[in-house]
Structure 1
Amino acid sequence: MSSTDVVIPCYRYGHFLRDCVQTVLTQSGVTLRVLIIDDASPDDTAEVAQELARADSRVTVLKHASNRGHIATFNEGIAWAAADYLVLLSADDYLLPGSLARSARMMDDHPSVGLVFGRAIVQEDDRREVVAAPAGLGQGTRILSGTEFIHLSRAKNIVIAPTVMVRTSLQKKLGGYSAQLTHSGDMGMWLRFAAHAEVGFIDRAQAVYRRHTANMSTTYSPEQDLAQRKEAFEVFLSSCAPVLANVDDLRTWFVNELALDAVRSASRAFNEGAMGLSDRLCEAALKIDPKVEGTPPWLALACKRRLGRRAWQLLQPAADRVRQMLAR
């Protein structure tokens, strides 16, 4: 039976921690160790963690005397890991039954796979929504080449972190998370894995991602998000250049994709009446790739801006119908 280490960093999530850990300990089909890292939380994280450790010998607790931040905490967990496979699970998320066994089975059956991910359920208050598979992936569980995964990702992070299991030996080879990527560290890590191994996708909900106001991702503006994604790709290219073909072409492609994503976001902001944000995203797109100015999404947004929002609101339903007809 394959062994799996689950690292659970926790900062101010003591109220989530017990439920998170229990969903790990009740998994079947793998041998388990759990490490809870309390990053000097000011809440009851330490007390909850120690109770869990006393109740189950598979649970170990590390407590920081001062807050070290999520990147250092993740890397501490990676250094601790010794099992066949590794899962980094935020304390505010939790696993669904059977998820570890499904991921481990794929790893066991396909030694060339370095990372496995799946669908997730996003939970916000009392609402739950199953996240669709990434666009272009199609239906069904499958194995992707690293190149397929990179191009499927385009300029975005298409993987929801709590669904991920990685091969520990490859994680150790790649090293830990980059201190530069405080917001896009996950995206950068998935790309690094794809440069060195195949990627498995399980077409089932594997974990629950909680969306709430304390999520770290909510502290970044759209412009900061774009900058961090660009930085993630630069770190990926520089660290993985020896194993990548056509690095310059890949950089050009990504910069264009990121700029187009910024324009599409600017267009959505325009539709919602956030005109200042739309302008800033257009400026960001041009800064990322000046050539985006001649693309169809840019020209479409330019037409909308010339019309003005009031006129566009009247025309938008007809434009949406035309798009739907063309997509058939």
Structure 2
Amino acid sequence: MDVVIPCYNYAHFLPTCVRSVLDQPGVDVRVLVIDDTSSDNTPEVMAELMAADKRVEGYRHEVNKGHIATYNEGLLDWATADYTVLLSADDLLAPGALQRAAAVFEQNPSVGMVYGRVVYYSDHDALPKITQLPVTSKVWRGEDWIENRFRSSRNVISSPEVVVRTKIQQKVGGYRADLPHAGDLEMWLRIAAVSDIGYVSGKPGAYYRVHENSMMRTTFKSVFADLEQRRDVFDLVLAENPGLPGRLRAMARKAIAGDALWRAVRLHDRNQLDGTEQELLEFARETYPELETLPEYKALQRRKKFSPEFLNKTQLFLAPHAYKRVKLWVGTQKWKWRGEQ
């Protein structure tokens, strides 16, 4: 397997990331580190890694090209193995992840992408403890997987847990520079349009680092960018794949509108009304004109009957959700306990 590791000012994470690849059992790996003109000591660290293991290759850009161009450079111009992984320098592969993905590919020639469970963490030296469960796998027809994504309108993949059949990756092309907030989602859908999709459960595929500069920590500006680009992605997928059912468009737009409305609901609950809630409402109406039928819209209208101060103080509408969260937590603990026996 070929693993592409773009690196920009992440020299302190790079050795652990590369080691998580080199220590994968049961598969032959090759690593390419691409230094996108880092200002830290990435060149020195990269040189040490290359000297220590011949499976590690690396080079440095003369000028910064940005993450999209760097991704595509490795995936499309360098990768030659049967399967390819794109791994950020601050993320990690889980032990055995590549072998588990390879098994799904080998048993299912129609599968173009395999992903798995991802574990979120913040410290390489204190990875979260995980429950050890039997490994199982599942394969969806590409069109079924696409419909599931339209139904929820959400990206269920973080990225480092993905392994792609190289010939499929190079067939569909690279990441789109015009979709910085939803490029991953568009890529997964593009792959699903030409192949089936596999999933490995039980053990994680990767560890994804959450940090202060992570896109997971979003401002309202980036929230709108995410909502808008997700909407654009689903429209684009339908335009480029006319064989997909037209009903999927309304399905995705309904879900995206519901997401926007629920964000407005939460602003009411937290007494954070600064006009953003109205923008979210307008976005939802533009996206799905029949938004009055959505439960999120009705929840928003209920909240408007009370002052934001009252809602924030009493948490009136949070009680049912808190009860559900408690039930879920209790059930999860029982499930974990049973799984560890």
Aligned counterpart, 1:222: 223
Match of 2:285, SS state, is helix
Match of 1:36, SS state, is strand
What is the CA distance between 1:290 and its match in structure 2? Answer: 2.2
Amino acid at match of 2:96: G
Match of 1:118, SS state, is strand
- CA deviations over 1:266-288 (Å, ceiling 9, x no partner): 22232233223433322221222
> Contact 2:4–2:74 at 8 Å: present in 1 too?
yes
Aligned counterpart, 2:52: 55
| Residue correspondences, number | 313
> Contact 1:263–1:282 at 8 Å: present in 2 too?
yes
Question: Hey, what's the Cα distance between the residues in 1 that align with 2:263 and 2:138?
Answer: 30
1:300-319 mapped onto 2 (5 Å cutoff): 300-312=299-311, 313=314, 315-316=316-317, 318-319=319-320
> Contact 2:7–2:34 at 8 Å: present in 1 too?
yes
Question: Hey, what's the Cα distance between the residues in 1 that align with 2:30 and 2:271?
Answer: 50
- CA deviations over 1:121-146 (Å, ceiling 9, x no partner): 10024573869xxxxxxx95311122
Aligned counterpart, 2:65: 68
Question: Are the structure 2 counterparts of residues 279 and 68 from structure 1 closer, same or farther at C-alpha, using a change threshold of 3 Å?
Answer: same
Match of 1:60, SS state, is strand
Superposition TM-score, scaled by structure 1 size: 0.88
Aligned counterpart, 1:281: 280
Question: Hey, what's the Cα distance between the residues in 2 that align with 1:318 and 1:308?
Answer: 17
* Aligned-residue identity in percent: 41
Aligned counterpart, 2:177: 179
Superposition TM-score, scaled by structure 2 size: 0.85
Question: Hey, what's the Cα distance between the residues in 1 that align with 2:130 and 2:121?
Answer: 9
Question: Hey, what's the Cα distance between the residues in 1 that align with 2:55 and 2:323?
Answer: 58
Aligned counterpart, 1:136: none
> Contact 2:11–2:40 at 8 Å: present in 1 too?
yes
Aligned counterpart, 1:264: 262
Q: Which runs of 5+ in 1 are unaligned?
A: 132-138
> Contact 2:36–2:66 at 8 Å: present in 1 too?
yes
Question: Are the structure 2 counterparts of residues 323 and 164 from structure 1 closer, same or farther at C-alpha, using a change threshold of 3 Å?
Answer: closer
Match of 2:305, SS state, is helix
Question: Are the structure 2 counterparts of residues 272 and 321 from structure 1 closer, same or farther at C-alpha, using a change threshold of 3 Å?
Answer: closer
> Contact 1:122–1:130 at 8 Å: present in 2 too?
no
What is the CA distance between 1:147 and its match in structure 2? Answer: 2.7
Are residue 9 (structure 1) and residue 45 (structure 2) matched? Answer: no
What is the CA distance between 1:296 and its match in structure 2? Answer: 2.0
Aligned counterpart, 2:336: none
What is the CA distance between 1:261 and its match in structure 2? Answer: 1.3
Question: Aligned to 2:141, which of 141, 145, 163?
Answer: 145
> Contact 1:5–1:34 at 8 Å: present in 2 too?
yes
Question: Are the structure 2 counterparts of residues 218 and 314 from structure 1 closer, same or farther at C-alpha, using a change threshold of 3 Å?
Answer: closer
Amino acid at match of 1:171: Q
What do you get for the CA RMSD once the two structures are aligned? 2.4
Question: Are the structure 2 counterparts of residues 318 and 183 from structure 1 closer, same or farther at C-alpha, using a change threshold of 3 Å?
Answer: closer
Aligned counterpart, 1:128: 128
Question: Hey, what's the Cα distance between the residues in 2 that align with 1:116 and 1:47?
Answer: 34
Q: Which runs of 5+ in 2 are unaligned?
A: 329-341
- CA deviations over 1:146-175 (Å, ceiling 9, x no partner): 233223322111012110001101111101
Match of 1:196, SS state, is coil
